[in-house]
Every structure is written in C-alpha cells, then in structure tokens.
C-alpha cells in the first residue's frame, strides 16, 4: 500500500455517522435547501431552451468515451503540442509526486495565487505548500470564504454554499477584511480589494483546468468572476495541475462542452469568463508555463469497465443539486473533495482501497432515485456505478452478519415452498408493531429500524388469501 491518498479528509467519519450530525444542523439544511432549489430551477429553465439538449448530451458522452478509450494517444499529442509552444509538461503518478513538482517550480516564492481547482484540492496542495512555508491565496470568492473560515468546501461549484451572508461577514471581519455590512456588493468589494493586492504582488500562480485541447496544446479554464483570469495573466510563472481525463481531441469537441457545462452548472447560456492559453508568448502573459498531468488513481479507475464512466465528469455539480441525500446532509458529510453523487462513485475509485471504511461507505450515500443520471450532461449512469461499488465494498468485508443474511435470503427466494413458509414466519413481526408501524426489530433487523420504520406485514399472506378466496 502506498502513501495515503488525500482525496478524502483525514479523520473524517463514515458517511452515516457524518450525515447524522449534519441532519441535526437546521441552519445548514435551510441554507442548502434554499441554494439547491434556486440552482435546480434555473438549470431546468436554461436546459429547456435547447431543443437538441439530448443530442448534446450524447455527443458529450461519445467524445468522453473516445478520449478514455484512446487516452494514451491524446495525452502524448497534448504533451507534444504544449512543448512545441514553449510550455513544459510534467507527469505525476500520485498526489505526493504532483505536490513535489509544484513545490519545486515555486522556487523562492513564499506566496502564490490560486485559481479554484478541484485537482489541487484532491492532492492537498495548499497543505503541502504550507508545510514548506509557501502560502496559497485562493482567489475564487467562495474558495476564499472557505479558506479564511478555516473551513472545508461542501459543493463542487459553490464551495461555501453552506454559509449565509451574515456568516460570511463574520468570517471576513475575523480575517481583517472589515466589511461594514452583509450586503453582497459590500462583501464582494472587500474581497476584491484584498485580492487585487495579491494579484499585483505574487510571482507565481497555480491553476486547475477544465479542459485541454490535444491538437493545439491549449488549456481552458471556465469561471464566473474574472479573478481566475487575473491569476492566469498577471504572475510571471503559471503552473497548471490537470487530471489526465480532462483532455479533449479538438476545438470542435470543446465546443460541445462549452454548451453543456455552463447550462448544467450555473444555468447560463454561455460562461462569463472562458480563458484559454497555449504555451507562452513573449511580452504577453506569463513567461513560464508548466502543465502537471495528474494520474492519482485515474489509471486504476480506467481499468474498471463499469466504474470508468466516472471519468467523463466535467465537474458541473448538476447531480449535487438534484440529490435528496446531498440536500439534507451537505457536502462535508462525504468527507471528500468530491461530494454528492459524483463524489460517491469517484472518491472510492481514486482511493482504490475497499478496506478504507470512510471511502467504502460513500456508495451507500444514495437513495438510487436516478435523478443524478437524468441531469448529468455526459450521461454518467451514477446509480449503476453505485450498485457496482456497493457490491465491491460488501465483497471486501468478507463474511459478516449482512452477507449471511443475504445468503439466507437467496436460499429462501430460490424455492417457492421456502418463500411461503418465510412469509408465514414473517407475519410474526406484527408482534413488534405499534400504531401501525414497526419502529424496532431485534437482531439484524435493528440495522433497518435504527434509521427508518419497517412496514407491518399483512395479517394473512397474499398466497394464502388467494387459495381461500380464488383457489
């Protein structure tokens, strides 16, 4: 076993335990419900404007599948194109290797500015830089709120979705930014004044990437505030950390995702700030450009014919905003950089350790209602992957009370006579009923009734009723 993968947060409890705590936080649930309901409605309206939305989804799915099938070829093409245009490509097998590369490239810099990036969160870059005496300044407003509040993100697109305006004002005040009120304009102005000083003083910037075009070596970042563009253009050196799966073959392929992503994520017809850069250009932008291509469990995920579709994800967060489990528990309950339905299938695969109790609990954080698949712009069949990973987690546990119970159930269902006898025996559960509900069962049944009521069995099984009345 290698070093621990920081894609999950150290010390995080399993999902059921964390969810129980989150459900008791009424303010958190109120904040989440307000935010996700608003985003959900706007997204549905934006998507409904396009008569060919389903064709776009299928096009996105096909492009991503082609990329995953020929990933080696497209990555080599990307490396050659970036190098030909003055950039430098680095390959990182895991988080530790990626952090070492970035730290070495930072040189003597003691402070860097950062564009919002899931990849750098996944590898724990901020913590690695801090350990080496380098302070990373988040420039995305929501990420800045999370950083100043010594908090953790709870949403892919809106990391501070669990905070309301008054909470943000207190965080800014504690950090010395001093906004006079919780008016959104005043809060934004305080953040802007703080960040402007950082943009003009930092020599190094670190970014993630939404996409990279293989045939030209161009890298693409989509954001809504313009702060990312400041990062990408002002510092002398730009370091981009990108997951291997973010490559697309051509600009024509990129066009599909530039339609899918904004409508799915922020419900906008087109993205407010789309920055693209290709290598370096003397006198224009950064003097150095480094692209770190990150594996960190992606190759292992690619080897799973069912689970690999998680690598199609374009980080739009549409699945989070429709998930009833996410809406009630929030993102921090997942204990991972990637929350919600996509996190429930991506995180366990990146961790790649079925004996990690926290990661192995995530595929069970779902009602399997299928809403996540309905909204996914690249048609990731999340429910199928969830059940696939659940089976893997159960298998890894070996023999347990649950597996024995399932084996017994299979033995019963294999025979009509055994099933009929089990039905008669099951009717005895009525002895535990109270006010038409069963709220407590002994033995293995207690696992069910600890979080929900069990249905009361019929007094007379249907087969017996049929024989008496129709047989």
> What integer is the mean pLDDT of 223-250?
95
| Rounded CA separation 58/348 (Å) | 26
Residue 426, pLDDT > 50, answer yes
> What integer is the mean pLDDT of 109-119?
94
> What integer is the mean pLDDT of 205-212?
97
Q: Which residues contact 292 (CB under 8 A, 6 or more apart)?
A: 90, 91, 92, 98, 101, 102, 239, 240, 241, 242
Pairing of strands 237-243, 204-207: parallel
Contact 349, 312 (CB under 8 A): no
> What integer is the mean pLDDT of 174-194?
87
Q: Please report the pLDDT score of residue 398 as a whole number.
A: 83
Q: Please report the pLDDT score of residue 405 as a whole number.
A: 80
- Phi and psi at residue 336, in whole multiples of 5°? -145, 160
Model pTM score: 0.87
Average pLDDT, whole number, for the chain?
Answer: 92
Q: Please report the pLDDT score of residue 5 as a whole number.
A: 63
E strands of 349-408, at which residues?
none
Q: Please report the pLDDT score of residue 32 as a whole number.
A: 87
Q: In the chain, what's the furthest Cα-to-Cα distance?
A: 91
The answer to which of 30-34, 117-121, 178-182, 370-374 has the lowest mean pLDDT is 178-182
The structure tokens listed for 325 are 């489990």
Residue 399, pLDDT > 90, answer no
> What integer is the mean pLDDT of 101-116?
95
Residue 180, pLDDT > 80, answer no
pLDDT band for position 229 (cuts 50, 70, 90): very high
Residue 2, pLDDT > 50, answer no
pLDDT digits 0-9 by tens, 449-462: 887 888 888 888 88
Q: Where in the chain is the domain with CATH 3.40.50.10420?
A: 75-296
Percent of the chain whose predicted confidence (pLDDT) is above 90: 70
Question: How far are the Cα atoms of 152, 236, 257, 292, 331 from residue 322, in angstroms, in the given order?
Answer: 21, 41, 21, 33, 13
Long-range contacts, 172-181 (Cβ 8 Å, 24+): 172/148, 174/148, 175/148, 177/148
pLDDT band for position 78 (cuts 50, 70, 90): very high
Percent of the chain whose predicted confidence (pLDDT) is above 70: 99
pLDDT digits 0-9 by tens, 353-368: 888 999 999 999 999 9
Q: Please report the pLDDT score of residue 333 as a whole number.
A: 93
Q: Please report the pLDDT score of residue 1 as a whole number.
A: 41
> What integer is the mean pLDDT of 379-390?
97
| Rounded CA separation 217/22 (Å) | 43
DSSP 308: G
pLDDT band for position 153 (cuts 50, 70, 90): confident
Q: Please report the pLDDT score of residue 243 as a whole number.
A: 97
> What integer is the mean pLDDT of 279-308?
96
**CATH architecture, domain 75-296:** 3-Layer(aba) Sandwich (3.40)
Query: Under DSSP, is residue 182 helix (H, G, I), strand (E, B) or coil?
Result: coil
């Amino acid at each position: 076993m290698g070093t621990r993968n920081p894609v999950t947060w150290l010390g995080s409890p399993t999902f059921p335990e964390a969810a129980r705590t989150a459900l008791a936080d009424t303010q958190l649930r109120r904040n989440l419900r307000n935010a996700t309901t608003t985003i959900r409605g706007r997204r549905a309206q934006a998507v409904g404007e396009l008569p060919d939305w389903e064709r776009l989804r299928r096009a996105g799915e096909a492009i991503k599948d082609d990329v995953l099938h020929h990933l080696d070829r497209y990555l080599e093409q990307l490396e050659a194109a970036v190098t030909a245009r003055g950039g430098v490509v680095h390959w990182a097998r895991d988080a530790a290797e990626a952090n070492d590369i970035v730290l070495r490239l930072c040189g003597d810099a003691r402070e860097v500015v950062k564009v919002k990036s899931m990849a750098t969160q996944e590898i724990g870059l901020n913590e690695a830089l801090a350990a080496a005496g380098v302070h990373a300044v988040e420039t995305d407003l929501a990420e800045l709120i999370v950083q100043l509040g010594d908090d953790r993100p709870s949403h892919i697109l809106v990391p501070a979705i669990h905070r309301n305006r008054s909470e943000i004002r207190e965080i800014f005040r504690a950090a010395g930014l001093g906004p006079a009120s919780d008016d959104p304009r005043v809060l934004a102005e305080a953040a802007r004044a703080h960040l402007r000083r950082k943009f003009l003083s930092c020599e190094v910037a670190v970014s993630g990437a939404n996409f990279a075009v293989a045939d030209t070596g161009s890298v693409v970042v989509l954001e809504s505030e313009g702060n990312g563009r400041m990062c990408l253009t002002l510092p002398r050196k730009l370091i981009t950390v990108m997951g291997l799966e973010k490559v697309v073959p051509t600009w024509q392929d990129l066009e599909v995702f530039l339609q899918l992503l904004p409508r799915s994520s922020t419900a906008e017809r087109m993205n407010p700030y789309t920055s693209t850069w290709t290598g370096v250009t003397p006198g224009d932008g950064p003097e150095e450009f480094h692209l770190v291509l990150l594996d960190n469990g992606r190759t292992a995920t690619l080897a799973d014919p069912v689970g690999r579709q998680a690598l199609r994800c374009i980080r739009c967060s549409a699945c989070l905003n429709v998930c009833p489990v996410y809406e009630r528990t929030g993102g921090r309950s997942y204990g991972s950089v990637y929350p919600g339905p996509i996190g429930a299938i991506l995180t366990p695969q990146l961790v790649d350790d079925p004996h990690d109790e926290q990661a192995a609990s995530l595929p069970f954080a779902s009602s399997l209602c299928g809403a996540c698949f309905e909204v996914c712009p690249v048609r990731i069949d999340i429910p199928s992957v969830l059940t696939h990973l659940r089976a893997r987690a159960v298998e890894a546990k070996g023999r347990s009370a649950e597996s024995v119970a399932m084996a017994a159930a299979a033995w019963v269902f294999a025979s009509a006579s055994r099933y009929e006898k089990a039905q008669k025996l099951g009717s005895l559960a009525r002895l535990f009923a109270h006010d038409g509900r069963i709220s407590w069962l002994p033995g293995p049944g207690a696992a069910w009734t600890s979080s929900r009521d069990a249905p009361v069995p019929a007094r007379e099984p249907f087969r017996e009723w049929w024989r008496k009345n129709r047989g």
